[in-house]
A = this chain, B = another copy of it.
Amino acid sequence: MATISSDDLLSALNWRYAVKRFDPAKRIEDGLWAALEDALVLTPSSIGLQPWRFFVVTDAAMKEKLRPAAYGQSQVTDCSHFVVMAVRRNLGEDHVDRHVARMSEVRGITVESLAKFRNMVTGNLERARVENRLDTWQTYQIYIALGNFMTAAAIVGVDTCPMEGFDPAKTDEILGLKETDYTSVVCCAAGYRHAEDKYATTPKVRFPKETMFVRI
């Protein structure tokens, strides 16, 4: 496998910042966007359950509709691809069965041979449901996707802006999610920074490394 140097990795992560002003004239080219979608597909998740759906908004009218639900932030309309990351609520046996069927298909093994796995997974989900932490647990996985996506984008030279500052209920309504099992968790605008976005050169603020790590 081709790897990149750690210097290039850190240069990309230092280049990344939460874009305040996107250049609305710059679009992510289709092939590159397809690769970023593939990167999202490859996100690891707990027990491999992939409890997510990604809404990729490029339509100008839909972006205009979504912008007020994000408190008017310009990134929604000025970015190239606006991604709303949604979690599957109340994850249950139907989802597990779909996953098991997909495992069987991809790995060429029988569904029957996965019975023990299936029982383990449904047991874990049921325990989380009873303890009222099921949706929170699955929501954690969405943030793995967000972290993976921002890093993947930076490495191929695409800018992003993560957004927790939006109204999930309004966003769900606009996207037609209200009657579904999915609800929006976090958004991420992707595209290219405007040449005049002053935040691009504002020094990154991080606590000193030595206060962040304990080495044992």
List chain A positions with a Cβ less than 8 A from chain B: 1-16, 18, 31-32, 35-44, 46, 48, 50, 52-59, 62, 98-99, 102-103, 106-107, 136, 139-152, 155-157, 162, 164, 175, 186, 202-207, 209, 212-216
Contacts of A164 in B (CB 8 A): 46
Closest B residue to A150 using CB positions: B44
Closest B residue to A39 using CB positions: B13
Contacts of A157 in B (CB 8 A): 1, 3
Contact indicator B209/A41 (Cβ below 8 Å): yes
Q: How many copies of this chain are found per oligomer?
A: 2
By secondary structure, the A interface counts as helix
Query: Bound complex: CA of A62 vs CA of B207, how far in Å?
Result: 26
Query: Could you list some 13 contacts between A and B, CB below 8 A?
Result: A2-B4, A3-B155, A5-B156, A6-B32, A6-B36, A37-B213, A50-B206, A102-B205, A106-B204, A140-B186, A143-B144, A144-B144, A151-B151
Contact indicator B35/A6 (Cβ below 8 Å): yes
